[in-house]
Chain A
Amino acid sequence: MAESQEAAGAAPAMRPRPLSPHLQIYGWKITMAASITHRITGVGLAIGSLLLTCWLLALADGPESYAALQAFLGGWFGKLLLLGFTWSLMYHLCNGVRHLFWDTGRGFEVATANRTAWSAFTGSVLLTLIAWVLAYSCGGSI
Chain B
Amino acid sequence: MSLSNKPQFKTPIGRVRGRGSAKDGTAAFWHQRLTALALIPLSVLCIGFMIALTGADYASAAAAMRSPLAGVLMLMFLLVGFYHMSIGLTHIVDDYVHWELGKLGLNLAIKLGCLGLGLACILSVLKLSFGGAA
Question: Does A96 lie within 8 Å of B56, measured CB to CB?
Answer: no
Question: Does B128 lie within 8 Å of A49, measured CB to CB?
Answer: no
Question: Does A135 lie within 8 Å of B36, measured CB to CB?
Answer: no
Question: Does B60 lie within 8 Å of A59, measured CB to CB?
Answer: no
The count of chain B contact residues (Cβ–Cβ below 8 Å) is 43
Residue of A14, A39, A60, A61 with most chain B CB atoms under a 10 A cut-off: A60
A22-79 CB contacts (< 8 Å) to partner B: 39, 42-43, 45-46, 49-50, 52-53, 56-57, 59-63, 66-67, 70, 74
Question: Does B120 lie within 8 Å of A53, measured CB to CB?
Answer: yes
Q: Which of B56, B132, B133, B134 is within 8 Å of A142, CB to CB?
A: B56
Residue B99 lies at the interface, judged by CB distance under 8 Å to chain A: no
Residue A129 lies at the interface, judged by CB distance under 8 Å to chain B: no
Question: Does A1 lie within 8 Å of B7, measured CB to CB?
Answer: yes
Interface SS, A side: helix
Residue A117 lies at the interface, judged by CB distance under 8 Å to chain B: no
Question: Does A67 lie within 8 Å of B58, measured CB to CB?
Answer: yes
Q: Which of A42, A49, A59, A74 is within 8 Å of B124, CB to CB?
A: A59
Question: Does B58 lie within 8 Å of A63, measured CB to CB?
Answer: yes
Measured as residues with beta carbon below 8 angstroms from the partner, the interface class of chain A is 35 or more
> What are 28 A-B contacts defined by CB distance under 8 Å?
A5-B7, A14-B7, A14-B8, A39-B92, A46-B88, A52-B121, A53-B120, A56-B124, A56-B125, A57-B124, A59-B128, A60-B124, A60-B127, A60-B132, A60-B133, A66-B58, A74-B55, A97-B40, A135-B54, A138-B52, A139-B52, A139-B53, A140-B52, A140-B53, A141-B52, A142-B52, A142-B60, A142-B61
Binding site for B on A (CB under 8 A): 1, 5, 10-11, 13-14, 39, 42-43, 45-46, 49-50, 52-53, 56-57, 59-63, 66-67, 70, 74, 86, 89, 93, 96-97, 99-100, 103, 131, 134-136, 138-142
Q: Given A93-B44, A96-B40, A103-B33, 13 more contacts at CB 8 Å?
A: A11-B9, A42-B88, A53-B117, A53-B120, A62-B134, A70-B55, A86-B47, A89-B43, A131-B51, A138-B51, A139-B52, A140-B56, A142-B63
